[in-house]
A and B are shown apart, each in its own frame.
Chain A
Amino acid sequence: MLYRENGQFKTSYVADQQIFPIRQDRIFVMLLLAFAFVGVPLLASDYLLRALLIPFLILSLAAVGLNVLVGYCGQISLGTGAFMAVGAYAAWNFGVRIPAMPLLLQIVLGGLCATVVGVIFGIPSLRIRGLYLAVATLAAQFFVDWAFLRIPYFTNYSSSGNVSVPQLTAFGLPVQTAMEKYLFVLALVCVFTLLVKNLVRGAIGREWMAIRDMDVAASVIGIRPMYAKLTAFAVSSFIVGVAGALWGFIHLGSWEPLAFDLTRSFQLLFMVIIGGLGSILGCFFGAAFIVLVPVLLSNIPGMLGLPLAVDTASHIEHMVFGALIVTFLIAEPHGLARLWSIAKEKLRLWPFPY
C-alpha cells in the first residue's frame, strides 16, 4: 500500500536503469541525505557526531570497500586493517614531506598507495581461492603491521612510533569542529559510495559477480579472471585506503599501528557479513550494527539507573552482542540488507495478506 510502484512507468532505458527505480525510494533517499547534511548538524550533540556518527560513516566506507572484494568478487580478505593502515600512513607521509599538499589530495594519494599494495597482495588470488587466499591476505596484515612498527621512515623517525596530524583544513575551510569533520566525512562517503554503486552496476561489477559465482564458467564466456580479480582488489583497497586515511586524520588525529591491527580487519569482515554480502546498503547496516550497538548497550544500564559495575556491564555487553550476531545470522544468513528488502516486499502488500 505504502510502497507500490503502480503507475510508475518507464519509457527509456535510462529511467529503467537508475539506482532507485521506485519513486518512494528516491524520495526517501533524498530526504535522508537532506537530513544527514542539514538536519543532523543542526540537531546532533558533539558526542553524537564525534563518538558515533563519524566512526560509523568512516567504517561504513571501509565496509563498502571490503564488500567490493568479498561480497561482489568473492575473494575473502583478512587484510582490510592493513590496507586501511597503508592509506592512513601514506596520506600522512605525503602531508609531512609536502606540507603544501591539500588534505583531499593527501587522502586520495593515500588511497592510491593502498591500491598498489592491495594489487600486490591480490596477485596470489590468481592462483589460490577461499581459505588459502584468506591466509595470504592475513600475511598482508602482519607484514604491514610489522612495517609501520619497524621502519622508522614511515613514521618520519618519530621517537615513539606514533604519528599525529596538524590542524586540518580543506578548500581553505577549517576541518576542526565536530560538525566540520562530520560534513567532510559525509561528503566523501557519499561520493565514494555512489562511485562504487555505479561500478557494481556496470560491466565491471558483472565481471566480479561472475567470478564470484563460478570462475571457471566466467572465464569460458570470456571474462578475464586476472583482470576481474585484480581490479576488485584495486578498487577495494583504494576505498579502504581512503577510509583508513579518514580514520587516522579525522577520527583519531594521532595513531599507532595498533589502530589498524587484525581486530580491525575482523571487525570489518563482520560488518560485511552481518550487513549483507554483495549489498552496498548492507555495509551501512553492518557498520551501524557493529559501531552503534555496543555503545547503546554500554549506555543502557546508566540510562535505566541500574547500578551495574562497568566490568559486569562490559561482559554483559559482549554476551548480548554475540547473541545478537548469532540470532541475526540464523534468522537471515544474507544479512540485514536482506531483512530490509523482505520488509519492503511486505510493505508492497501491506495491509493485505495476499
Chain B
Amino acid sequence: MEMKRLNLKRAGAALALGAALGGVTLPALADEQFVPLLVYRTGSFAPLGIPWADGKLDYLKLVNERDGGINGVKITYEECETAYATDKGVECYERLKSHGPTGASGFDSQSTGITFAVTDKAPLDKVPVETVGYGLSQAADGSVFQWNFPLLGTYWTAADVMIQDIAKKEGGMDKLKGKKIALVYHDSPYGKEPIQLLQKRAAANGFELQLYPVTAPGVEQKSTWLQIRQARPAYVLLWSAGIMTPTAIREAQASGYPRDKMYAIWWAGSEGDVKDLGDVAKGYNAITIHNSGEQGKVAQDLKKYVYDKGQGSDRNNTTLGTIAHTRGMIISMLQVEAIRTAQEKYGKGKSMTPEQVRWGFENLDLTQEKLDKLGFGGIVRPFKTSCANHLGADWARIVQWDGKQFKVASDWYQADPNMVGPLVKAEAAKYAKDKNITPKNCEG
C-alpha cells in the first residue's frame, strides 16, 4: 500500500511538473540490488576522485561478471557527480536513495561535508552511510551513530599511527618529550578533525604541537612554510587534499624542509599527488589503511573478468593499480560484503532493504579466510564490526615515496585504544546530547 501511494504521488508529480523532475524510477525488476555511487570526476579534487570512482565501479562490475552478483542478485548502480560540493551531494543522495527495487544499499559520499549533511538525514531515511577512512571520527561509536560506518580507520586512527611511527623512529615514546611536531592542515572540518587527538597525544607524550591552518584550496603556503622554517619542528603532519599536497611538498623543498620528516594523510598519499614531482617528493611518507604494496588476487580477477572483456572503467589506463583505485575497490567490497552478510540473515538471493544492509554492516566478520577468497588477503587485515563498534579494526601502515613509487616503510600499526577510545566515547556522548539521541543499548 505504502509503495502504491508513493508511486501515485510520483506519477502525479511527474505529470504536474514534467517527468524530468519527478525522479521517476524504472519499473523494478526482481532480485536486483542498487548501489548508489557518489563520485567527483570533475572539480578541484578530480585527480583523487577519478581513480577512487573507477575502483568503486570496477569492483561492482567484477562481482557481477565473476559471481553473477551476490548469491545471484545482480548489482545495479548509478554514478552521480558531486564535484565535492555539499549541495550537489545532497541532491544526489535524495535522487538515489529510493532507486532500485529496495532502495540504496548505502552511501559512500567521498566528502566530509556531504557526510555531515547526510549523517543528519540517514537515520530518518534509514540508509547506512559508510565513510571508509574519513567522516566523523566519533562515529565509530555505533550506539550513537547507528547508521554511520567509518570502517577501517578514521582521522584519529591516522594521527595516532603517525605519532607511533615517529616515536619508533626516535627510539621510543619517551623520546618525543620536548620535540616539536607541526600539523599543516586544510582549514576545514576535514583538516581540523585530527587536532583533538593530537592535543591529547601532545599532553600525554610531552611533545609540542604547532598548528598551521592553510586556507582552502591551499595554493598559497609561502607564509606557512616560512614559519615552519623558523620554528623548525622535528616532523610535519600534512592533512591536505587536491592541489594543496604538491604545493606543500614544493614549499617544503623551497624552504629546505626534509621530505622524509613529512607524514601525510591517506588522501594526500596517492600516486597522483607526487608523480609529477618525482624526486622532489623523495622520502615523503604517507599513511595508508590498506596494504598498498599489494595487488592481490582481486587485481588478477579484475583483469581477467572485466578489463580483458573491455568493460573496465579506467579508459585511459591511468588509474588501475593506484592506491586510490585499490581503496575504491575496498569500499565497494565492504558494501558488497555487508549485503552478503545481510542476505545470510534475511534470505539468500533476495534484494535487501537499506535497513537490512545496515545490519550487514554492523555484523561484518571478515576473516583471513574470507578475505583470501575475495582476493583481498594481502590487502586488508581481518576485522569484525559490532553494535558498539562501527569501525572494525583500524590497522594502518606507512608508505614512502622513493621517487618512482610508494614503498611500504613500516609494519602494521593499530591506533592506541587508550588514546582514541575515551575520545570517541566523550565526543559521541556530546553529539548524542546535542541531537537528543538516546544511545542504543548494545549489551543486550
Q: How far is the CB of A104 from chain B (nearest CB, A)?
A: 19
Tell yes or no: B188 within 8 A of A by CB.
yes
Q: With a 10 A CB-CB cut-off, give which of A176, A254, A295 has the most chain B CB atoms.
A: A254
Within 8 A of B (CB), among A34-58: 39, 42-48, 50-52, 55
Q: How far is the CB of B27 from chain A (nearest CB, A)?
A: 14
Return the chain B residue nearest A43 by Cβ. Answer: B12
Q: Which among B16-24, B287-295, B363-371 touches the partner chain?
A: B16-24
CB pair B86 A258 closer than 8 Å: yes
Complex Cα gap A177–B98 (Å)? 15
Given A50-B94, A255-B116, 13 new contacts (CB under 8 A)? A39-B16, A47-B97, A52-B91, A149-B213, A160-B136, A160-B190, A251-B90, A256-B116, A256-B188, A258-B216, A299-B21, A309-B79, A313-B81
Interface size class of B (residues with CB under 8 A): 35 or more
CB pair A51 B90 closer than 8 Å: yes
Complex Cα gap A164–B196 (Å)? 19
Q: How far is the CB of B39 from chain A (nearest CB, A)?
A: 6
CB pair B83 A254 closer than 8 Å: no
With A43-B13, A150-B213, A252-B86 already in contact, the answer to whether A161 and B189 are too (CB < 8 A) is: yes
With A43-B16, A159-B195, A303-B19 already in contact, the answer to whether A166 and B436 are too (CB < 8 A) is: yes
Q: Which of B9, B21, B188, B216 is close to A52, meaning CB atoms less than 8 Å apart?
A: B21
With A253-B120, A255-B86 already in contact, the answer to whether A160 and B20 are too (CB < 8 A) is: no
> In the assembled complex, which residues on chain B have CB atoms less than 8 Å from the CB atom of A257?
188
Where the two chains meet, the residues of B that have a C-beta atom closer than 8 Å to any C-beta of A are: 6, 9-10, 12-13, 16-17, 19-23, 39, 41-42, 46, 50, 78-81, 83, 86-87, 90-91, 94-95, 97-98, 113, 116-117, 119-121, 124, 136, 187-190, 192-193, 195-196, 213, 216, 427, 434-436
Within 8 A of B (CB), among A93-141: none
CB pair A254 B12 closer than 8 Å: no
Q: Give 5 pairs: A residue, B residue, CB < 8 Å, sorted on A.
A: A43-B12, A44-B13, A176-B124, A299-B95, A314-B42
With A51-B90, A176-B124, A311-B81 already in contact, the answer to whether A167 and B9 are too (CB < 8 A) is: no
> In the assembled complex, which residues on chain B have CB atoms less than 8 Å from the CB atom of A256?
113, 116, 188-189
Q: Which of A150, A177, A254 is close to B120, meaning CB atoms less than 8 Å apart?
A: A254
Tell yes or no: A201 within 8 A of B by CB.
no
Tell yes or no: A193 within 8 A of B by CB.
no
* A-B interface, 5 closest residue pairs, ranked by CB to CB distance from nearest: A311-B41, A253-B120, A51-B94, A160-B189, A47-B23
CB pair B9 A160 closer than 8 Å: no
CB pair B81 A298 closer than 8 Å: yes
> In the assembled complex, which residues on chain B have CB atoms less than 8 Å from the CB atom of A259?
86-87, 113
> In the assembled complex, which residues on chain A have CB atoms less than 8 Å from the CB atom of B87?
55, 251-252, 259
> In the assembled complex, which residues on chain B have CB atoms less than 8 Å from the CB atom of A149?
187-188, 213
Complex Cα gap A253–B120 (Å)? 7
Q: Which of A162, A253, A303 is close to B20, meaning CB atoms less than 8 Å apart?
A: A303
Return the chain A residue nearest B37 by Cβ. Answer: A310
CB pair B23 A42 closer than 8 Å: no
Return the chain B residue nearest A176 by Cβ. Answer: B124
CB pair A167 B435 closer than 8 Å: yes
> In the assembled complex, which residues on chain B have CB atoms less than 8 Å from the CB atom of A310?
39, 41, 79-81
CB pair B42 A160 closer than 8 Å: no
Complex Cα gap A314–B41 (Å)? 9
Tell yes or no: A183 within 8 A of B by CB.
no
CB pair A48 B41 closer than 8 Å: no
Within 8 A of B (CB), among A283-327: 292, 295-296, 298-300, 302-303, 309-311, 313-315
With A164-B434, A253-B121, A313-B81 already in contact, the answer to whether A300 and B13 are too (CB < 8 A) is: no
CB pair A47 B41 closer than 8 Å: no
CB pair A45 B9 closer than 8 Å: yes
